[in-house]
């Protein structure tokens, strides 16, 4: 074990495992401490979006995870009258980011793939049975104390420590690190109890007759939110024959009683009719919105559920966490590899916190109308949401994700802070496969500052069209695929170098 790691990641859930892969792929030395001996065996997240697929490209894990990702068609919300009130479908719509907008997957399989990449990704050191207990912050590093439970060798639990330049705490919603730092959570005032059921099914789900299902929309391929005041429920397809239901618990219903096999069987059976199916698990959760007041304390950064939790109505909880670590990973790599100023890490919370609050706000707003139990108010809700949705015709879940509004972006330049397009190239590869995943400068015409000339790309003119749409001579794209800014190539590169406090040039 080295005397000092660049990064110690605490917690090897999806967020910690992605952090490790992203960091190590850029050459940083990474150790991951995980208190359990294996990944969590039951599914929680089932949905992710195109941005995660692009991050899997960056982390070098796309070939491992892709076979288990099922591209899907988006989200459908159905009102009390069994008519559609909101459709965020993607069928027939362009795919500007190179991937389908929505995918379904099976979290335990996905986590196994992320861990399997550790060896190939620069030999990430994974310590299982390693339970974080305390930390000490020093000027140049953090000392992490942990208990090592060697269950394989049946040895006694020992107390150990290691040093790292930075710590990423991806230790989940109960986050012992967050507690050790004394960081409190901002409660966004949403808390509803839901029963989550997973099943393996041998055929399609039976939906009641629904009015207004858009042409081309296949209920079996959509995340369907039944906003029925009798019992709000979500019906979600999974990978292969996995299916997810989420049922709201009604006032007075007891968690333990509702989790009893007979009750679970009755709830799911209503959707499966005569189709054979096996319940894999049933558990109750409190869906809530919480955001840490402070995401960075000295050299320690909270990420994933340790930093925020969201009601899962748009399937974004884990996605937020993967965005967190993508944000941290490129900045840490810029410091280690390119000599950027360590102060850039102070932009982590200003960039991520409003972004996360924006999406959690949308999920909470949806949760408030989804969880309506009063039939009269539900009828009013149906009319209101239908009207609002009609004004946003063509909306997809991608529209819920805001731009980065502060931090390492040239705010005010057209397109700054949005996710940059990733066209599929003539040969079937995607843009990042051709350009790499670091900083990318795309220019309209060749100049003294270099850059990739948009017209030379075999992308059907997509990048040139993006520049046209933003009336830009050049666009500089960050390693996490968000637009740093648009304008003149010289100005953009100078602004980047100034903001990063660079002591050496980085290749764009």
Ligand X SMILES: Cc1cc2nc3c(=O)[nH]c(=O)nc-3n(C[C@H](O)[C@H](O)[C@H](O)COP(=O)(O)OP(=O)(O)OC[C@H]3O[C@@H](n4cnc5c(N)ncnc54)[C@H](O)[C@@H]3O)c2cc1C
Asked if 248 interacts with ligand X (CB under 6 A), we say: no
Tokens linked to 15: 């967020």
Among candidates 47, 168, 98, which has minimal Cα distance to 432? 98
Q: Residue 237, interface with ligand X (CB under 6 A)? A: no
Query: Least distance (Å) from ligand X to the CB of residue 290?
Result: 12
Determine, following the binding rule CB under 6 A, whether residue 13 of this chain makes contact with ligand X: yes
Residues 194-233 that bind ligand X (CB under 6 A): 196
Least distance from C-beta 335 to ligand X, angstroms?
A: 23
User: Whole-number minimum distance, CB 209 to ligand X, in Å?
Assistant: 27
Binding mask 254-293 for ligand X (x = CB under 6 A): -------------------------------x--------
Closest by CA to 51, choosing from 20, 27, 18, is 18
Member of 8, 10, 400, 475 binding ligand X (CB under 6 A): 10
Strand stretches in 183-315, DSSP E: 185-201, 223-226, 233-237, 242-248, 277-292, 296-297, 300-302, 308-309
Please tell me whether residue 51 binds ligand X under the rule CB under 6 A: no
- Axis crossing angle, helix 317-338 with helix 14-25, rounded to the nearest 10: 20
Candidate list 44, 141, 288, 355; residue touching ligand X; CB under 6 A = 44
Q: 448: Cβ–Cβ under 8 A, 6 or more apart, which residues?
A: 490
69 is an interface residue for ligand X by CB under 6 A: no
Pairing type for strands 84-89 and 74-78 reads antiparallel
Identified binder of ligand X from the candidate list 312, 367, 417, 423, rule CB under 6 A: 312
438 binds ligand X (CB under 6 A): no
Cα 13–14–16 angle (5° rounding)?
A: 65
Q: How many residues bind ligand X (CB under 6 A)?
A: 34
Where does this chain touch ligand X (CB under 6 A) — which range of 169-177, 397-405, 423-431, 473-481? 169-177
78 Cβ neighbours under 8 A, 6+ residues apart: 84, 85, 210, 224, 225, 226, 227, 228
Residues 315-354 that bind ligand X (CB under 6 A): 315-319, 321
Q: How far apart are CA 71 and CA 92, in angstroms?
A: 13
Count of alpha carbons within 13 Å of 499, Cβ hemisphere only?
A: 19
Contact flag: residue 113 with ligand X (CB under 6 A): no
Q: Give 443's strand partners.
A: 453, 474
Q: Whose Cβ is closer to ligand X: residue 126's or residue 454's?
A: 126
Q: Tokens 């944000």 identify what position?
A: 327
HSE-CB at 133 with a 13 A cutoff on CA atoms is 13
**Is residue 47 a contact residue for ligand X (CB under 6 A)?**
yes
Asked if 35 interacts with ligand X (CB under 6 A), we say yes
What's the distance, Cα to Cα, between the start and end of the chain in Å?
Answer: 34
Interface pick for ligand X out of 73, 102, 109, 131 (rule CB under 6 A): 131
Q: What is the CA radius of gyration of the chain?
A: 23
Give the residue with the Cβ less far from ligand X, 147 or 207: 147
Instruction: Count CB neighbours of 291 within 10 A.
Output: 19
**Binding residue for ligand X (CB under 6 A) from 6, 7, 9, 11?**
11
Q: How far is the CB of 325 from ligand X (least distance, A)?
A: 9
Contact positions toward ligand X, by CB under 6 A?
10-16, 33-36, 40, 44-48, 131-132, 170-172, 176, 196, 285, 304-305, 312, 315-319, 321
């Amino acid at each position: 074990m080295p005397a000092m790691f660049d990064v110690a990641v605490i917690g090897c859930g999806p967020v910690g495992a992605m952090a490790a892969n992203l960091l190590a792929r850029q050459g940083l030395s990474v150790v991951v401490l995980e208190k359990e001996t294996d990944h969590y065996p039951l599914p929680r997240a089932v949905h992710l979006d195109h941005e995660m697929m692009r991050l899997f490209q960056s982390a070098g894990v796309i070939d491992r995870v892709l076979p288990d990702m099922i591209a899907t068609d988006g989200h459908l919300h159905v009102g009390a009258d069994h008519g559609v009130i909101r459709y965020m479908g993607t069928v027939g719509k362009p795919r500007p980011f190179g991937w389908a907008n929505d995918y379904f997957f099976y979290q335990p399989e996905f986590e196994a793939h992320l861990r399997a990449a550790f060896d190939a990704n620069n030999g990430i050191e994974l310590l299982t049975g390693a339970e974080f207990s305390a930390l000490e912050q020093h000027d140049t590093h953090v000392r992490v104390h942990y208990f090592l439970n060697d269950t394989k060798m049946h040895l006694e639990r020992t107390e150990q420590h290691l040093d790292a330049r930075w710590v990423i705490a991806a230790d989940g919603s109960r986050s012992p690190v967050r507690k050790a730092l004394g960081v409190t959570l901002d409660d966004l005032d949403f808390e509803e109890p839901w029963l989550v059921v997973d099943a393996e099914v041998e055929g399609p789900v039976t939906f009641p007759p629904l009015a207004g299902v858009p042409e081309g929309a296949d209920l079996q391929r959509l995340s369907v939110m039944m906003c029925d005041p009798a019992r709000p429920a979500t019906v979600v397809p999974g990978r292969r024959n996995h299916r997810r239901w989420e049922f709201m618990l009604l006032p007075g219903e007891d968690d333990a009683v509702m989790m009893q096999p007979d009750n679970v069987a009755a709830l799911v059976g209503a959707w499966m009719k005569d189709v054979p199916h096996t319940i894999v698990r049933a558990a109750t959760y409190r869906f809530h919105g919480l955001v840490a007041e402070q995401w960075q304390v000295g050299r320690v950064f909270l990420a994933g559920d340790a930093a925020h939790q969201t009601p899962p109505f748009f399937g974004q909880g884990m996605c937020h966490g993967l965005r967190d670590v993508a944000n941290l990973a490129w900045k840490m790599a810029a410091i280690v590899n390119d000599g950027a100023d360590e102060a850039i890490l102070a932009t982590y919370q200003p960039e991520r916190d409003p972004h996360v609050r924006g999406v959690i706000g949308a999920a909470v707003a949806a949760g408030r109308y989804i969880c309506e139990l009063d039939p009269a108010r539900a009828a009013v809700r149906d009319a209101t949401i239908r009207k609002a949705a009609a004004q946003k015709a063509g909306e997809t879940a991608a529209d819920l994700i805001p731009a980065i509004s502060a931090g390492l972006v040239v705010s005010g330049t057209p397109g700054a802070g949005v996710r940059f397009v990733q066209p599929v190239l003539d040969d079937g590869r995607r843009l990042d496969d051709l350009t790499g995943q670091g900083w990318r400068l795309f220019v309209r015409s060749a100049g003294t500052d270099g850059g990739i000339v948009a017209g030379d790309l075999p992308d059907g003119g997509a990048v040139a069209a993006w520049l046209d749409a933003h009336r830009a001579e050049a666009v500089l794209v960050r390693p996490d695929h968000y637009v740093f800014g648009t304008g003149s190539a010289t100005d953009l590169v100078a602004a980047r170098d100034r903001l990063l406090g660079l002591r050496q040039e980085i290749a764009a």
